[in-house]
Structure 1
Amino acid sequence: MANQGQTLLHQVAGMDYYDGGNQLGVVFQLQDELRWFERVKRIVPSPYQLYCNDNYLTVRELFDLEHLEMLKEAQEWIKGTAQSCSAVLVLLATMVFAAAYTVPGGTDDNGVPVLLDSPLFLFFTIMDVVGLASSLISVMMFLSILTSPFQMQEFYKSLPRKLTIGFTLLFISLTTTLLAFGSTILLMIRMENKRWS
């Protein structure tokens, strides 16, 4: 037992010695705190988890109270980030979708793309499809974040995982869109002037 009738878990639940952690972003800092708390909780005998300190607070109640400001900050940050990324991704998906129907080089009288036999055209098609798929899946990830309840336990695994997946797919979408754009430019240059390509 420690001072004020606190167990080891009460000490871990407090923010007295928190230095900000080594994680970037308040969402991942909160996740780090939750992980640390759960690791210590596993090694402490279960009767001590229900023990109240001198202020009649259980370990979980103290943790929630001590991390209330961090939770509010994480909620605001993740909502703002998810909204901003969703807007960017919807614009990106619209652009990639339009590019899929405006094929480089145009089509012949039968509607077949003129540059269909070019390896660059195949590369363009693959990059465009990957860009569209990753941007739409990423939008779904960010929308699922926005519809989450934003409770403390959601920050343990669910929300940081969705955020990480959403960011990864966002970067894949941006990269593949740039590659599709680059291949379109190369196709157009090759059509106009073979020396340039």
Structure 2
Amino acid sequence: MTNHEKLLENGQKWVKDTTDKYMLISTLITTVLFAAAFATPETNNDSNIVRLKGYVLVFTIFDGLGLFFSVAATLLFLAILTSPYELLDFLDSLPKKIIMGLFSLFLSLVCMLMAFAATLTLVLDKTMEQVLIPIILLTSFPLTLFGVLQHPLLFQMMKSTYGPSIFPRAIGSEA
């Protein structure tokens, strides 16, 4: 029994530490995207009218979606941090929340970088067209890095949560 208690303690510590770091990142992304929403490119300062055409519309859409996904990730990680960390939570509830939180965090990064690329396209316009494509391609590097580095954790959690169980199902149970 002491072996299970030690595993539970180690699991609780790992989940708290990992979730704390992910929550910090998602909160930073939320802050950046919220601030960017009020600094929409190509605003008309005289009448405070924003022309939602072309890349300004792309920026606005991806900034809003990124804000939605980053707030969702923050709330999911907050739900994990406030979880009671019972033994059964580690089988179903916590892995599902971590999986959804990681997906939301990844989608918020995608949206943030798409909003950045739209803004960059607006700013550089036709004057520096030759550097536009390499810079936009470089914006995909953080996404690739995040995907490669977090893939093993996400794959293992999905496999253990949604894959075949090591526990036999009780006869007649539907859950």
- For the residues of structure 2 that align with 1:168 and 1:186, how far apart are their CA atoms? 27
Q: In the alignment, is the contact (CA less than 8 A) between 2:42 and 2:56 conserved in 1?
A: no
SS in 2 for 1:150: coil
| Partner SS for 1:109 | coil
2:127 paired residue number = 193
User: What is the total number of aligned residue pairs between the two structures?
Assistant: 131
- Within 1, Cα distance between the matches of 2:14 and 2:44? 47
Would you say 1:117 and 2:69 are equivalent positions? no
Select between 80-89 and 99-108 the one with higher mean Cα deviation: 99-108
Q: Does 1:90 align with 2:24?
A: no
Structure 1 runs of 4+ off > 4 angstroms? 194-197
1:81 alignment counterpart: 18
Unaligned runs of 5+ in 2: 133-175
* Matching residue of 1:153: 88
Offset at 1:159? Answer: 0.5
Secondary structure at 1:148 match in 2: coil
Q: Distance in 2 between matches of 1:152 and 1:144?
A: 16
Query: 1 CA distance for matches of 2:108 and 2:27?
Result: 11
Task: Supply the distance in 1 between the matched residues of 2:23 and 2:71 (Cα, whole angstroms).
Answer: 9
Larger helix share, 1 or 2? 2
Secondary structure, counterpart of 1:110 in structure 2:
coil
2:70 match: 135
1:195/1:73 CA distance change after superposition, 3 Å: closer
Residues 29 and 70 in structure 2, CA contact (< 8 A), matched pair in contact too: yes
Whether 1:182 aligns to 2:117 is yes
Distance 1:150 1:173 in 2: 27
TM-score by length of 1: 0.62
| 2:37 aligned with 1:69 | no
Q: Which residue of 2 aligns with 1:126?
A: 61
Flag the structure with larger Rg. 1
Q: Is the 8 A contact 1:105 1:188 kept in 2?
A: no
For 1:194 and 1:138, locate their aligned partners in 2 and report how far apart those are by CA, in whole Å: 36
Per-residue CA distance 1:27-53 (angstroms, 9 max, x = gap): xxxxxxxxxxxxxxxxxxxxxxxxxxx
| TM-score, length-scaled by structure 2 | 0.69
